């Protein structure tokens, strides 16, 4: 289930706010400049996860977002527990970092958790199939794909090198709960 949990940066134990209502999630996130939307496929998705078919199913919202945010290209990324180097891939984005361009991801299937650090708070956004999240350029954040990663996302790019991660050096991520899908669903 998609879910927003907001913590003060100083307290990872008692959230200020928690909601699984997509409209409330979008509202709270918009208040701090983060785009969150729910998209619906125009055609049934192929079980194969074929990238062209995925992009065709979401062609209208993909084009609208490219136009609105000046993204020049997209691709489809699929990660499963069998993906080569998946443990290192998870670790790569677990420390707080920034990018020179917006990090926009649409979840076609599966799930993952973004942790966005701004306004002296951490906005933890568990994204599921149908969720679009865009982290603004320069905003400190980290991403946890969980211990058994499984997701397909459409990624948006302004320029090929633009989303290279720059570590902030802040160890804040270690204080916040990892993404454990079963635990999140039970919370
Ligand atoms: Fe990132």
Of the two residues 51 and 117, the one the predictor is more confident about is 117
pLDDT at 123: 98
CA of 142 to the centre of ligand 1 (A): 6
CA of 53 to the centre of ligand 1 (A): 26
- Give 43-58 as a DSSP string: SPPPTT--HHHHHHHT
The three-class DSSP label of residue 131 is strand
CA of 155 to the centre of ligand 1 (A): 11
Q: Is 141 annotated as a binding residue?
A: yes
Contact 129, 92 (CB under 8 A): no
pLDDT band of residue 71 (cuts 50, 70, 90) is very high
pLDDT at 186: 44
Residue 106 has pLDDT above 90, yes or no: yes
CA of 56 to the centre of ligand 1 (A): 25
Kindly indicate whether the domain formed by 3-172 is annotated with CATH number 2.60.120.10.
yes
CA of 144 to the centre of ligand 1 (A): 10
Residue 185 has pLDDT above 70, yes or no: no
Residue 179 has pLDDT above 80, yes or no: yes
Residue 169: count other Cβ atoms within 10 Å of its Cβ: 8
Q: Is 117 annotated as a binding residue?
A: no
Give the span between the Cα atoms of 70 and 58, in whole angstroms: 17
CA of 40 to the centre of ligand 1 (A): 24
Residue 69 has pLDDT above 90, yes or no: yes
pLDDT band of residue 60 (cuts 50, 70, 90) is very high
CA of 154 to the centre of ligand 1 (A): 14
Residue 46 has pLDDT above 80, yes or no: no
CA of 113 to the centre of ligand 1 (A): 11
Q: Is 97 annotated as a binding residue?
A: yes
Residues 6+ apart with CB under 8 A from 26: 36, 37, 38
CA of 95 to the centre of ligand 1 (A): 9
């Amino acid at each position: 289930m998609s879910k927003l949990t907001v913590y003060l940066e100083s307290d990872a134990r008692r959230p200020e706010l928690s909601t699984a209502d997509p409209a409330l999630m979008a509202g709270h996130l918009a208040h701090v400049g983060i785009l969150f939307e729910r998209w619906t496929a125009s055609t049934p998705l192929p079980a194969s996860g074929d990238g062209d078919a995925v992009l065709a199913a979401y062609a209208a919202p993909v084009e609208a977002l490219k136009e609105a945010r000046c993204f020049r290209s997209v691709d489809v990324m699929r990660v499963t527990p069998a993906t080569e180097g998946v443990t290192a891939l998870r670790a790569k984005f677990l420390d707080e970092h920034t990018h020179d361009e917006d990090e926009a991801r649409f979840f076609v299937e599966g799930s993952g958790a973004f942790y966005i650090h701004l306004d002296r708070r951490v906005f933890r956004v568990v994204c599921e199939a149908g969720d679009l999240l865009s982290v603004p350029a320069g905003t400190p954040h980290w991403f946890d794909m969980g211990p058994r990663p499984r997701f397909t996302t459409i990624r948006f790019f302004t320029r090929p090198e633009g989303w290279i991660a720059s570590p902030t050096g802040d160890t804040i991520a270690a204080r916040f709960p990892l993404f454990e899908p079963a635990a999140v669903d039970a919370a």
